[in-house]
Amino acid sequence: MILVKPSFKIMEIMGQTVEGESLRLIELAGRTCYKSENKITEDSYKSFTEMVLKRGHESVIEHSAMTVKFICDRGVTHELVRHRLCAFSQESTRYCNYKGGITFVIPPWVDLEEGDYSYYVIEGIYFFDGDILNTWADSMAKSEEDYISLIEDGWTPQQARSVLPNSTKTEIVVTANFREWRHIFRLRCSKAAHPQMREIMLPLHKRCKELVPIIFDDIEV
């Protein structure tokens, strides 16, 4: 049984071959509205993008997008896929066979380190490496045992997945335009968001502020 923490990887920011390239695309598209292409300079994309955001003209920033790969638990993705203006490609428990062992994502309130845990059972009690006793880990180990047993009994992965918990690790690739990412950050970084969602969205938002500061600077978390 492998236990991991959630993580993300920014796979691509549209047009970001050099710093600011994605914002230059936004300026080029946006100036079509005003027919002011003649005002484009080497760094005018900065003030132009700031201007459209201050005016609430956010449709212009839909011309650029970002793709992120998340490693998280399935409970988080159940919430993430509710965002409509995104493209999603997710690891499928219908087709992926985990008979070799299952990976689970450690919730932030569970005090366990990442690692490959072996365990043994005595009178229904699960003991892990270093004689760790943990109710959440017990449940994960039982799910893994049941899943593998069902696969060995001839169940298909899409049948055996019925015993897998929300904590099962999944990978999902998300592509959305900048306007939608701003919406996602406002919702998923707030104090009202689920702790596991905030655990992954807060560092992603911080990284996005570093990569595309004008687009994401004004979002308070």
Q: Looking at 74, 182, 188, 198, which residue is catalytic?
A: 188
Reduce the DSSP state of residue 1 to 3 states and report it.
Answer: coil
Q: 169-183 burial string, b = 16+ CB within 10 Å, else e?
A: bbebebbbbbbbbbb
**Cβ neighbours, 10 Å, residue 104:** 26
Q: Structure tokens of 29?
A: 């598209």
Clarify whether 188 is annotated catalytic. Answer: yes
Distance (Å, whole) CA 195 – CA 188: 9
Reduce the DSSP state of residue 123 to 3 states and report it.
Answer: coil
**Alpha helix locations (H) across the chain?**
21-34, 44-54, 74-80, 135-152, 157-160, 178-188, 195-211, 213-216
- Which residues are catalytically annotated? 188
